[in-house]
């Protein structure tokens, strides 16, 4: 067992007499006095808190999961309902994430006592993030916490997919297999053992397996080894709380099933959503607490089959999600009237563009009042019922034709982008392929040594694996790339491409040595998270920005430090990391990042380089850094292409490319076909909202079950298998459409 886990559990035992429920209790519905149904056939009654403080996509997901759960009656409740006795008719209370301070205020003193009495008398409680905080010891910043578990607040913050480690007791109590799992973390607590709590008998069942301090330069204690999930009893009832957000990702839902297994003794299941082709795609704004009436609308929408509903918040609007939806519902709520709400402030331009291309926003209550003040073109309706009627009317309207893809300018910038198996080139390639100012060429590794760089103005080396890129190029290809830059070519490198431009710092990891910098190369992988970057004066001037700091996605890239001088170069630091540590995948410490180079740029011989260690291309709100970097190199900024927007009624496709030919087909054929809304990608994310999955890669045995489940739920899988080995692998997937060439892909997608 991890030494830190032992320390935490030992501390609990010393302070609180920490004796958890025995393993023999784990599969049963609770002790005498519990309010759980006496018969497993009887519907489980679940109250989902949707009052003040319970907000954002996590609250939406809890409403969705409980509404779609089998043999469950889910009822949304707020503080007023709790005070009025709503928990008397409940078996389980779900407390979502958001703000524990606001949740406590919304409950009020009487409601907080009702929650404690509910659990003490035999009820069950499951909470995530803020719902975990709510049970902790009161503190100066959290004066109204319920003090139901012997833990206090520790330093926390940041957002990332962070690894947590479930221990042996998680397996014994809840059937959650011992081991690590990457789970969504968003400013959640880092619970510290504290003084005993009367009636509480709990233990740590999972700990943080990594660290994150990506947005601040203040040193703080490590999260690794600290409590991330806690389970046990309070009086006659049971509780299971997590500091993270397993409700956010379908891959993590087994954790919630384990929580309910421990709480209720039941194997809880819920239906997985599958869109029907032709459904209107609707974004539901989740920046504020829902309230009971809005929550009931959410339950109707997610259990009906009229629309494809996608929860949105301010961050996802900033990330370009309005490009993927046809309409938006903006519900009533105090947060919707704030200037920084999801559709306005920094996102006002995106909202305006969405409306201009024919999207609709239906707002009511305070959201409608905010829209009127901004004269935004939003459709204001009386209430949720009127919003639903307006949405149905919009779905019945004729679909306008798509905006044409603009013609290329007379002399576009000739750009080449490296193709690798990780498809990490796709986001930049998509933007350049659709920009009239650029002409894009896909570069296979062998092209570099065989004259493939001739005639190009710009070469882009994307993320992926730096050493793999170098070895794929070979010595001749690497020399050709160095020569291309030194003789006047432009080089844009991101993450692995940034590493590639630098000097070798570890034996066996070759680099081009174009610039007088090297990566600090920590012993352990740093992980991935948004990180704060502070631009230098040179960087602000080169990129034409007045922003001194930005938060950018980091994904295991270099932290640049000075290397040996390189002849005839003048490369400077354009931006430095302003966060200290990212270590989201394992507990071992890594070198700090604070002050090390994040963006670099300058002259190399007759050419010019722009090096991006993090990934500004991964979010639309930071893609302007990519465009500014391109302009710095070539003098021409690629324009944002309106043809990237979804066209209402198109077929939603996820496309997995594997080589130069498949990537070229994507940009030459699929993306220009406006009957198809194609989002390139290699993972399974958002597959519930995709009509067709097209892959040109050899199917792996580990993917077969996932693909067949997708087909069983109504999805279509198209596999391009142009070799005997690929065709043999493709036959493992029952129900898939297998093609020997690209000729039939469009017909298979549109069928």
Token pair listed for 492? 């844009």
H-helix or E-strand spanning residue 95: strand 92-95
Q: Which candidate, 641, 533, 632, places its Cα nearest to that of 580?
A: 533
Structure-model confidence comparison of residues 663 and 87, the more confident one: 87
27, 265 Cβ separation under 8 angstroms: yes
8 A C-beta contact, residue 307 and residue 282: yes
Least trusted range by pLDDT, from 37-46, 427-436, 499-508, 613-622: 37-46
Strand, helix or coil for residue 484: helix
pTM, to two decimals: 0.91
User: What is d(CA 747, CA 751) in angstroms, rounded to the nearest whole number?
Assistant: 6
pLDDT digits (tens, 9 = 90+) for 139-161: 999 999 999 999 999 988 889 99
DSSP state of 670: I
C-alpha 600/C-alpha 612 separation (Å) is 7
pLDDT at 31: 35
Closest CA relative to residue 579, chosen from 549, 541, 624: 549
The pLDDT score that the predictor gives to residue 19 is: 37
Q: What is the set of domains in the chain, with CATH numbers?
A: 3-154+189-205+229-264 (3.40.50), 280-396 (3.40.50.2300), 413-643 (3.40.50.880), 645-750 (3.40.50.2300)
Helix (H, G, I), strand (E, B) or coil at 636: coil
More confident residue, 548 or 400: 548
Band of pLDDT at residue 274, cut at 50, 70 and 90: confident
d(Cα 617, Cα 629) in Å, to the nearest integer? 11
Q: What is the CA radius of gyration of the chain?
A: 27
Residue 706, both tokens: 């996932």
Comparing 15 with 105, the larger pLDDT belongs to 105
Tokens of 192: 């510290």
> What average pLDDT does the segment 670-681 reach?
84
Measured between alpha carbons, how far is 257 from 175 in angstroms, rounded to an integer? 9
pLDDT band at 16 (very low <50, low <70, confident <90, very high): very low
Q: Name the more confident of 273 and 146.
A: 146
Which residues are registered as beta bridge partners of 77? Answer: 49
CA distances from 741 to 1, 635, 661, 745 (A): 52, 40, 11, 8
Distance from the Cα of residue 206 to its chain's centroid: 22
Torsion 523-527-532-537 (CA) sign: positive
The distance of Cα 246 from the centroid of its chain, to the nearest Å, equals 12
Mean pLDDT of 175-189: 96
- Helix, strand, coil percentages, rounded to 5, for the chain: 35, 25, 40
Half-sphere exposure of 427 (CA within 13 A, CB side): 20
- Binned at pLDDT 50, 70 and 90, residue 595 comes out as very high
Calculate mean pLDDT across residues 665-688. Answer: 80
Residue-wise pLDDT tens digits, 316-362 = 999 889 998 999 999 998 776 677 788 998 899 999 999 998 999 99
First-to-last C-alpha distance (Å) of the chain? 54
Q: What is the pLDDT of residue 15?
A: 33
The first and second tokens of residue 126, run together, are 């499951």
Q: Return d(Cα 486, Cα 498) in angstroms, integer.
A: 17
Res 337: pLDDT: 67
Q: 10 Å Cβ neighbour count for 537?
A: 10
Residue 61 host element (H or E): helix 56-68
Predicted pLDDT at 14:
35
The tens digit of pLDDT for each residue in 70-126 reads 999 999 999 999 999 999 999 999 999 999 999 999 999 999 999 999 999 999 999
Q: Is 268 helix (H, G, I), strand (E, B) or coil?
A: coil
Per-residue pLDDT band at 278 (split at 50, 70, 90): confident
CA dist 616 and 431 (Å) reads 13
Q: pLDDT for 369-385, tens place per residue?
A: 888 888 789 999 999 99
The phi and psi torsions of 584 (rounded to 5 degrees) equal: -90, -5
Average pLDDT, the chain: 91
445-452: long-range contacts, CB 8 A cutoff, minimum separation 24: 445/418, 445/419, 445/420, 445/469, 445/472, 445/473, 445/474, 445/477, 446/477, 447/416, 448/473, 448/476, 448/477, 448/478, 448/480, 448/481, 449/473, 449/474, 449/476, 449/477, 449/480, 452/416
The stretch 35-45 carries a mean pLDDT of 78
Q: Which of 378, 372, 343 is nearest to 360 (CA)?
A: 378
pLDDT at 538 over 90: yes
Let me know: does 322 contact 84? Beta carbons within 8 Å. Answer: no
**Would you say residue 416 has pLDDT above 90?**
yes
Measured CA distances, 142 to 83, 145, 392 (Å):
21, 6, 43
Phi first, then psi: give them for residue 527, nearest 5 degrees: 95, -160
Crossing angle of the two packed helices 426-433 and 623-634, in degrees rounded to 10: 60
CB 384 within 8 A of CB 297: yes
In the chain, the percentage of residues whose pLDDT exceeds 70 is 93
Contact (Cβ atoms closer than 8 angstroms) between residue 223 and residue 212:
yes
432's tokens: 């350049």
Angle at the Cα of 692 from the Cα atoms of 686 and 694, rounded to 5 degrees: 100
Candidates 73, 103, 104, 78; CA nearest to 89 is 73
The whole-angstrom separation of Cα 496 and Cα 121 is 56
Beta strands in 613-713 (DSSP E): 651-656, 676-680, 692-695
Q: Do 746 and 676 contact (CB within 8 A), yes or no?
A: yes
Give the separation between CA 642 and CA 434, rounded to whole angstroms: 9
Indicate the pLDDT class of residue 680, thresholds 50, 70 and 90.
low
Distance of CA 733 to the CA centre of its chain: 28
| pLDDT tens per residue across span 465-504 | 899 999 999 999 999 999 999 999 999 999 999 999 999 9
690, 653 in Cβ contact below 8 A? Answer: yes
Residue keyed to tokens 């957002």: 159
pLDDT over 50 at 12, yes or no: no
Using the predicted structure, report yes or no on whether residue 32 has a pLDDT greater than 60. no
Closest C-alpha to 415, from 432, 398, 430: 432
CA diameter of the chain: 81
**Residue at token pair 């430090």:** 561
């Amino acid at each position: 067992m991890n030494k830190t886990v032992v320390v935490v559990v030992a501390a609990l035992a010393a302070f609180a007499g920490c004796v958890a429920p025995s393993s023999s209790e784990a599969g049963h519905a609770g002790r005498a006095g519990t309010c759980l149904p006496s018969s497993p056939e009887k519907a489980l009654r679940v109250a989902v808190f949707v009052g003040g403080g319970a907000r954002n996509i996590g609250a939406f997901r809890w409403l969705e999961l409980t509404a779609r759960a089998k043999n469950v009656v889910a009822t949304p409740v707020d503080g007023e309902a709790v005070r009025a006795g709503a928990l008397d008719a409940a078996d389980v209370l779900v407390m979502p994430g958001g703000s524990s301070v606001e949740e406590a205020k919304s409950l009020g003193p009487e409601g907080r006592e009702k929650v404690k009495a509910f659990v003490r008398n035999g009820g069950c409680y499951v909470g995530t993030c803020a719902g975990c905080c709510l049970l902790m010891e009161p503190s100066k910043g959290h004066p109204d916490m319920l003090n139901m578990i012997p833990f206090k607040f520790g330093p926390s913050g940041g957002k990332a997919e962070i690894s947590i480690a479930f221990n042996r007791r998680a397996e014994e109590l809840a059937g959650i297999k011992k081991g690590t799992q990457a789970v969504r973390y968003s400013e959640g607590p880092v619970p510290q053992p504290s003084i005993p709590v009367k009636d509480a008998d709990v233990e740590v069942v999972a700990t943080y397996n990594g660290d994150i301090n990506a947005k601040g330069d203040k040193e703080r204690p490590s999260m690794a080894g600290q409590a991330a999930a806690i389970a046990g009893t309070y009086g006659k009832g049971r509780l299971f709380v997590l500091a993270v957000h397993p409700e956010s990702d379908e891959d993590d839902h087994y954790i919630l099933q384990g929580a309910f297994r421990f709480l209720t003794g039941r194997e809880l299941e819920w239906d997985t959503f599958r869109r029907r082709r032709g459904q209107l795609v609707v974004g539901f704004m989740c920046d504020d607490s829902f309230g009971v009436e809005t929550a009931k609308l959410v339950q109707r929408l997610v259990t009906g089959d009229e629309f494809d509903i996608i929860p949105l918040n301010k961050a996802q609007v900033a990330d370009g999600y309005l490009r993927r939806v046809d309409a938006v519902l903006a519900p009533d709520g105090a947060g919707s009237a704030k200037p920084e709400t999801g559709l306005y402030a920094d996102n006002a331009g995106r909202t305006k563009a969405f409306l201009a291309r024919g999207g609709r926003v239906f707002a009511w209550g305070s959201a409608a009042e905010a829209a009127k003040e901004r004269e935004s073109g939003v459709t204001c309706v009386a209430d949720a019922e009127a919003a639903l009627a307006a949405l149905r009317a919009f779905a019945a309207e004729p679909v306008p034709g798509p905006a044409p893809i603009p013609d290329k300018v007379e002399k576009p910038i000739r750009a080449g982008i490296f193709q690798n198996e990780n498809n990490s080139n796709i986001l930049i390639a998509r933007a350049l392929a659709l920009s009239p100012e650029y002409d894009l060429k896909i570069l296979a590794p062998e092209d570099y040594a065989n004259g493939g760089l001739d005639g190009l103005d710009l070469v882009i080396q994307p993320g992926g694996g730096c050493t793999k890129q170098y070895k794929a190029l070979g010595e001749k290809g690497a020399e050709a790339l160095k020569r291309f830059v030194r003789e006047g070519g432009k080089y844009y490198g991101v993450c692995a491409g940034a590493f590639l431009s630098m000097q070798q710092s570890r034996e066996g990891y070759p680099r081009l040595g174009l610039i007088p910098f090297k990566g600090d190369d920590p012993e352990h992988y740093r992980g991935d998270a948004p990180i704060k970057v502070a631009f230098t004066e040179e960087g602000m001037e080169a990129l034409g920005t007045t922003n001194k700091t930005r938060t950018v996605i980091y994904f295991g890239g270099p932290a640049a430090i000075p290397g040996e001088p390189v002849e005839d170069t003048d490369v400077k630091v354009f931006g430095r990391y302003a966060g200290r540590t990212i270590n989201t995948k394992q507990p071992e410490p890594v070198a700090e990042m604070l002050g090390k180079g994040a963006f670099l740029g300058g002259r190399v011989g007759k050419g010019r380089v722009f090096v991006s260690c993090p990934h500004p291309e991964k979010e639309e709100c930071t893609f302007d850094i990519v465009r500014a970097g391109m302009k710095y190199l070539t003098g021409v900024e690629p324009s944002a292409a309106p043809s990237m927007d979804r066209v209402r009624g198109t077929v939603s496709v996820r496309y997995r490319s594997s080589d130069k030919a498949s990537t070229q087909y994507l940009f030459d054929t699929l993306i220009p076909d406006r009957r198809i809304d194609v989002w390139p990608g290699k993972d399974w994310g958002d597959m519930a909202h995709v009509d067709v999955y097209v892959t040109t890669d050899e199917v792996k045995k580990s993917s077969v079950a996932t693909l067949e489940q997708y087909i069983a739920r109504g999805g279509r899988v198209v596999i391009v298998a142009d070799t005997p080995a690929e065709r043999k692998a493709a036959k493992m997937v029952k129900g898939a459409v297998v093609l020997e060439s690209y000729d039939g892909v469009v017909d298979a997608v549109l069928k």
